[in-house]
A and B are shown apart, each in its own frame.
Chain A
Amino acid sequence: SQQGEEDPQALSIQEGENATMNCSYKTSINNLQWYRQNSGRGLVHLILIRSNEREKHSGRLRVTLDTSKKSSSLLITASRAADTASYFCSLGQAGTALIFGKGTTLSVSS
């Protein structure tokens, strides 16, 4: 299994601003998943995007996938203090567990 690498490592923004974080990878994938981890908690699944999809929305979240560039981005619009967390991407390949990078730590200040 291969891991995705999130970028940037840390991001600080004001409430109401948009936050964009990226994930790059090196292998072929069946899908790519984004997770959020609040301090002291387990990971929460946000969005799964399949390799034949280019964009997916869920509430204030927008995920894009460019398989030719082997990259994905997660956009959080109109951020809130409650969005403060670490965000991880993970590559889904049949028959394997998820592999996580170090994540992007997002801080949203009010």
Chain B
Amino acid sequence: NAGVMQNPRHLVRRRGQEARLRCSPMKGHSHVYWYRQLPEEGLKFMVYLQKENIIDESGMPKERFSAEFPKEGPSILRIQQVVRGDSAAYFCASSKGEVQPQHFGDGTRLSIL
């Protein structure tokens, strides 16, 4: 049973470009969460989605960031016009239900040149 799959593992972008991060949840999981982690910090919640719906996006910047979890296919976290401050590790997690243990992917490390 495959775990949460994130790709790419590493992504390098120049300032102003777009970054697309993908997350395939565990089989049978319909809840997806995105977190961001800066060096020496804990994970910070960004957005919580269920299939085709955004449940809580209170941790996601209002501009340049968007997330989706379509009926078919992976969840996508999209960052437009990236800036140096977007450099971080982005983790995706999935769960079966709301108050269930979350299973994490190994993250995408985004570097902005």
Contact = CB atoms under 8 A, between A and B. Distances in A.
Interface stretch (B14-22, B62-70, B102-110): B102-110
Interface residues of B, number: 25
Interface in B44-81: 44-45, 48, 55-56, 59
B43 interface: yes
B91 A42 contact: yes
B104 A102 contact: no
B43 A94 contact: no
B72 to A, nearest CB: 24
Contact of B107 (A42, A48, A102, A103): A42
A40 B42 CA distance: 13
Interface residues of A, number: 26
B104 A44 contact: yes
Contacts, number: 59
The 10 closest A-B pairs by CB, nearest first: A42-B104, A100-B42, A45-B101, A43-B104, A97-B45, A97-B48, A42-B106, A100-B43, A102-B42, A97-B33
Interface string A83-102: 00000100011111111111
A98 B98 contact: no
Interface in A15-68: 30-31, 33, 35, 40-45, 48
Interface of B: 4, 6, 33, 35, 40-45, 48, 55-56, 59, 91, 93, 98-99, 101-107
Nearest to A46: B101
Contacts of B43: 43, 88, 98, 100
A100 to B, nearest CB: 4
A92 to B, nearest CB: 5
Contact of A93 (B41, B99, B103, B105): B99
Given A3-B42, A43-B102, A102-B41, 15 more contacts: A30-B99, A35-B104, A41-B106, A42-B93, A42-B105, A43-B43, A43-B91, A45-B101, A45-B102, A88-B42, A92-B99, A94-B98, A97-B33, A97-B48, A100-B42
